[in-house]
Structure 1
Amino acid sequence: MFSDRLQAGMEVLRDTCGRRGVGPLLLIYLFVVKAAADCPKPQGTGNIVLTNEALLINNFPEGSVATLECANGYVKETGSGITTCVDGNWTEPDIICIKKDCGPPKPQPNMSFNTSGGTLFGDMITVFCDKGYQISGSSFKWCYATGWSGRAKCKIVTCDRPAEVANGRSSWDSQDVPTYGEIIHYHCNEGYTLVGKDSIVCGESGVYDSQPPECKGVTVERITTETLTATPTPPAQEASTSTDPAATAHRDKTITPPAASPSAPGGRGILSGEDRAATTGVTSTTSFQDMRDGAVDVNKDIGYTSVIVSVICISIVVCILLFFLHKFLLKRKGSYDTREDLKPELLQFQNL
């Protein structure tokens, strides 16, 4: 079309040749025709832009060619991207651009990603660490033209050095701090008892699952209780075998009740009220002394408090047994006491 216009202008020039004033008009005509044939600088649309080479060109005459490409973050799906200047206009480019797909992030140890939001240009994903690990860096990644942005690492969780316990020790002997899942054991020194859990574990949040135990000394009361529980109290017969001279002297005493009166019915010896009281007092005193000496001799390592309590209990039991024995003898004698065994003594007294 540009050549046709130029040819028409030349014919007009020949027809008007030799006439005055025709030269300036011809020059103006040629300038207008040439300006109408040039194309403006091409412009990108949307995700399509000019190449760097096309951006450096200022004039685009008829028939000029410019190249278009995909914008940053987009990739060419089809087409060449070439456009041509025709009659002062650019032809429609045939290039089609789509968003870049960053794809799954590069795997890292103890790390996972939530890609539900997509992996295309401009999308964002979330970074997660496995149990017992924590994120170092950004917890998000964005898909840029150059790929995934943001650096992150998953570091294992650490706990403080285990606390020391008085009168005990722990199994941790490293200069480093414990990490997630490591177990620290505790032991008490000899003569001390561990109270609490004997081990603690470094948890996923950097805190131990429990407090360190305590090492407490074994008290005298506890020893006494354990001894009484483990060793039964020996009976009075065994206690009487003690080699203590004092205890032997008490055991050598023989308690002989008063002889029964020949006039007692059935030939049975019946004790008077004073004789029974004396016998009971002597027996109780002797039994109390024998058992106290025996208990002290056998259990002298138990403690004075336990000995006194044991002696008191045994004395109470002996008194109760003597009381019931007295009642039993009264029942065997009869429902009432006729004092017949004292009649000879009363007649003798009256004769005086």
Structure 2
Amino acid sequence: MDVLLDTLRQRELKSLLLLYLFVGNVAAYCPKPESGDGIILSYEALLKNDFPEGSEVTLECGNGYEKQSGSGIINCIDKKWTDPDLVCKKKDCGPPKAQPHMYFDTSGGTLFGSLIKVMCEEGYQISGMNYKKCYSPGWFGKSTCDIVTCKKPIEVENGKNSWNADGKPEYGQMINFTCSEGYVMLGSRSILCTKTGEYDPLPPQCIDTSTAKVFTATPTSHRAITVTARVSTNISTKEQDYRLSENKTAPTSVLSSTATPLKDQNIENININKNKGNAAVIISVIVVTLVVCIVAFILNKFLMRRKGSYDTGEDLKPELLQFQTL
């Protein structure tokens, strides 16, 4: 009987010891540490699965962050981790290095994760990315500012231009035009390659002066007079309005067909205005005619009704005429 009691006591003691060891082990472990703002676990801490009482773990700054202060060491005490003293801040990429004719909008900052806009000076266009982003190694996004170019100037018939290079004209370059002998220029002598890649103004034309028909004009004073000339070209037939200056000493005369317009004088096309005026006159005549017809028709109807109310419209028969003579 005593032996049996001793055996039972030993089993109870073993059970209590195992329970104590189990409860003690559970109570002595800390949970896995959590990362914070820009803070991560070190590589050694990531390899561990258990963190018993008294364990020590090192924290580090994450990608894009750098250590500002603190040791980064935390300890497991009474199932809790001590407060971390590590402070991490975002890396600063600093001002990006600009390429020629390039500048940036850095209103969004230059810290890790920031975006900045890439811009080019007037007359230049972006080739590549419009934005740069700050990553841990630095700015990412390659771009350049290339000068704007225009198409090669067209060949002017009966004239030539000053462009003789193989490449295209660039922003700010000017192209000059000249006409062959016996031709006058219609338009500007020079055109400019603008920031949009287009020319301003448009290229001129060279007009044959021998085919021009100039009307005579009698000036009444020493003021500028207007002469209308009809010019035939293989491009188009236009009526041009030339403003020529009258020589104060010259008497009343007939203008020569070889008169050259003033330099860079704007020539107006009056053919369109003339056609518009003729169309307006025709429309006015048609409207007036329709109004007159409608009014005449209404008056005729009104008069016919009045006549029918007093006169039957029948002629007197011959046999009734004798009564009228009594």
Does 2:141 align with 1:150?
yes
Render the CA deviation track for 1:11-38: whole Å, top value 9, x for unaligned.
xxxxx99942212321221232123212
From the superposition, tell whether residues 217 and 91 of structure 1 become closer, same or farther in structure 2 (CA, over 3 Å): same
Which residue number corresponds to residue 323 of structure 2? Answer: none
Deviations 1:264-312 (A, max 9, x none): xxxxxxxxxxxxxxxxxxxxxxxxxxxxxxxxxxxxxxxxx99xxxxxx
2:162 paired residue number: 171
2:16 aligns to what SS in structure 1?
helix
The residue correspondences of 1:308-327 to structure 2 (distance < 5 A) are none
Q: Is the 8 A contact 2:92 2:111 kept in 1?
A: yes
Name the SS for the 1:219 alignment partner: helix
Cross-structure match for 1:85: 76
State the alpha-carbon separation in 1 of the partners of residues 106 and 34 from structure 2: 36
CA distance in 2, matches of 1:221, 1:65: 102
- Displacement of 1:212: 0.9
The 5 Å alignment of 1:148-297 reads 148-219=139-210
Aligned to 2:41: 50
Does residue 20 of the first structure (1) align with residue 7 of the second (2)? Answer: no
Report the equivalent of 1:310.
Answer: none
State how many pairs are aligned.
Answer: 212
Deviation at 1:168, TM superposition (A): 0.9
Instruction: Please show how residues 128-139 of structure 1 align to structure 2 within 5 Å.
Output: 128-139=119-130
1:201 positional shift = 1.3
For 2:31 and 2:105, the matched residues in 1 are separated by 48
Change (3 A) 1:27 1:133: same
How far residue 222 of structure 1 moved from its aligned partner, in angstroms, is: 8.0
Percentage of identical aligned residues: 52
Contact 2:187 2:204 in 1 (8 A): yes
Greater helix proportion? 1
Query: For 2:211 and 2:95, how far apart are their aligned partners in 1?
Result: 70
The answer to whether the aligner puts 1:41 opposite 2:15 as a matched pair is no
Gaps of 5+ in 1: 1-15, 226-304, 307-352
3-state SS of paired residue (2:200): coil
What's the counterpart of residue 100 of structure 1?
91
Match in the other structure for 1:240: none
1-structure distance, mates of 2:68, 2:7: 58
Q: CA deviation at 1:63?
A: 1.9
Give the deviation of 1:143 after TM superposition. Answer: 2.5
Runs of 4+ in 1 over 6 A off after TM superposition: 220-225
More strand by share: 2
The CA distance in 2 between the partners of 1:56 and 1:106, in whole Å, is: 41
Contact 2:182–2:210 (CA under 8 A) maintained in structure 1: no
How many Å apart are 1:224 and its aligned residue? 12
In structure 1, the residue matched to 2:20 is 29
Q: Is the 8 A contact 2:157 2:205 kept in 1?
A: yes
Q: Normalization by structure 1: what TM-score?
A: 0.55
Distance (Å, rounded) in 1 between the aligned partners of 2:70 and 2:26: 31
SS at match of 2:24: helix
Normalising by structure 2, report the TM-score.
0.59
User: Where does residue 7 of structure 1 map in the other structure?
Assistant: none
Which string of whole-angstrom CA distances, capped at 9 and with x for unpartnered residues, describes residues 42-75 of structure 1? 1112332212221111121222211111233322
Q: Does 1:140 find its partner at 2:131?
A: yes
